[in-house]
Amino acid sequence: MLNELKQREADGNPIHVGLVGTGLMGRGIAHQIGRTPGMRLSFIAGRSESTLGEAARLYGKPVRVTTDALAALRDPALACDVLIEATNSVVAAHDYCMAAIERKVHCVLMNAEVDLMLGHLLRDAAARHGVVVTSDAGDQHGVLARMMEEIEMWGFEIVQAGNMKGFLDRYRTMEGSVEIARSLNLTTRQCLAYTDGSKLNIEMSLIANEHGLTPFVPGMQGPRAERMEDVLDLFDFDAYGGQGRVDYILGARQHGGGVYVVGRCDDAFKRGYLGYYKVTGRHPYYVFLRPYHLCHLETTRAVAMAALYGKAVIGLRKGRVTDCYAHAKKPLQPGDTIGHAIGSDEVYGLIVTAADADAAGQVPQGLLDVEEGPARPVVRRALERDEPLSFDHLDMPATRLLDLWTRQQALLARATPEPATLPQPVLAVS
């Protein structure tokens, strides 16, 4: 891959990239593309003039900057082979990606929220236009996908795809996140979504939907571990019943930014070699560690995979096996509103097997985020803390996100949308 990129650089034929989003990750991506051979940014789009200017400075080469991403994507004078979507929106991100797909541009999603909420809808459109929509290569789920492909090639059965989290507090609030967000150069809402585990559950749902994995319990088990090797004692892999799982460990500070995969190998011949190679394991289970994920530094791999080979890091191949569902962060009373969903004072998200949660009428967490207008979901039936929110608990405003999600549900069911066959949220009367 690197040699091909160097050749494109030498030939004056770079991959042209559009970047939407100039937050912490977007600025890092701009800097990295400026230092990757065979790639050029054709435009950078964002809402803030100051962060746009900073992203352009970090890129270090001539580039168009704009606050109108859709106009840039629809401008035929701007070459674009790959779009990197690095906002934290869902509906707006969908629109950016659809504009790219319609002009036969590949999409790399540094945005896990739109990837989980509407990723199947986007990938269906991409397939019809002959392009790729892919998860990013540098977030934990992208790194896991790359590891798992190799581990399966070695002849291992994937038993568990694991994340490593240093801290988690499901009941953390916006007020309690201000100082740590400032220290990490994140928005308070972003920081809260990381801290309460919502982002973890969203990302693990994406890798689950790529490989057909499920959580052993809603939200995963997440035991505390001093070392990565402790997973061999902390999980009962025999109880998995042959079903691959997603999970995480909490702590393990020496590998705080890492991911791991547990593979099963019953081959007696390989057992001796695995011991010789000093692979951490307790036969037939073996643990493979990558002690880091580098987010924006690895985004260029996803760009190159799409542009050079038409290949996705994650394509959600197994369908909607899991989703991330809203649970009450505190007792909620009739009349309470859900001001925000991902990074919220009202709810946190847990990964649940979709068939089970949908049968119970549970609400995907992202569906509660409203990007247009003042209307918000309103509680009409009281909930206890930790109780999953169902559509029966809420009056839902009619939003574009709800409409797009309903279309995706119909797509996944391989059916023409029929109201009686889809979840029926109660719509608020305006």
145-203 pLDDT, tens digit each: 999 999 999 999 999 999 999 889 999 998 989 888 888 888 898 899 999 999 999 99
- pLDDT: is 371 or 218 the higher one? 218
Over 70: is that where the pLDDT of 313 sits?
yes
3-class DSSP assignment, residue 351? strand
CB 29 within 8 A of CB 47: no
- CA 275 – CA 289 distance, rounded (Å): 16
Cα separations in angstroms, 195 against 55, 114, 179, 280? 26, 20, 13, 30
Over 60: is that where the pLDDT of 418 sits?
no
Over 60: is that where the pLDDT of 394 sits?
yes
Confidence of residue 116 (pLDDT cuts 50, 70, 90): very high
Confidence of residue 420 (pLDDT cuts 50, 70, 90): very low
pLDDT score of 428: 60
Mean predicted lDDT score pLDDT of the chain? 94
CB 163 within 8 A of CB 136: no
pLDDT score of 422: 41
pLDDT score of 421: 40
Please report how the helices 91-102 and 112-129 are oriented relative to each other, as an axis angle in degrees rounded to 10. 20
Please give the average per-residue pLDDT across 390-410, as a whole number: 96
pLDDT score of 424: 56
What backbone torsions phi and psi does residue 267 show, to the nearest 5 degrees? -70, 115
What backbone torsions phi and psi does residue 2 show, to the nearest 5 degrees? -60, -40
* Plot region of 247 (φ>0 → left; ψ -120 to 50 → alpha; else → beta): beta
Per residue in 36-49, pLDDT tens? 999 999 999 999 99
Cα separations in angstroms, 313 against 141, 380, 419? 9, 41, 34
Tokens 């270090």 belong to residue: 60
Q: 51-58, long-range: CB within 8 Å, 24+ apart, which pairs?
A: 51/22, 51/23, 51/26, 51/27, 52/22, 54/22, 54/27, 55/19, 55/22, 55/26, 55/27, 55/30, 56/30, 58/27, 58/28, 58/30, 58/31, 58/34
Tokens 């739109």 belong to residue: 114
Per residue in 246-301, pLDDT tens? 999 998 777 668 999 999 999 999 999 999 999 999 999 999 999 999 999 999 99
pLDDT score of 426: 58
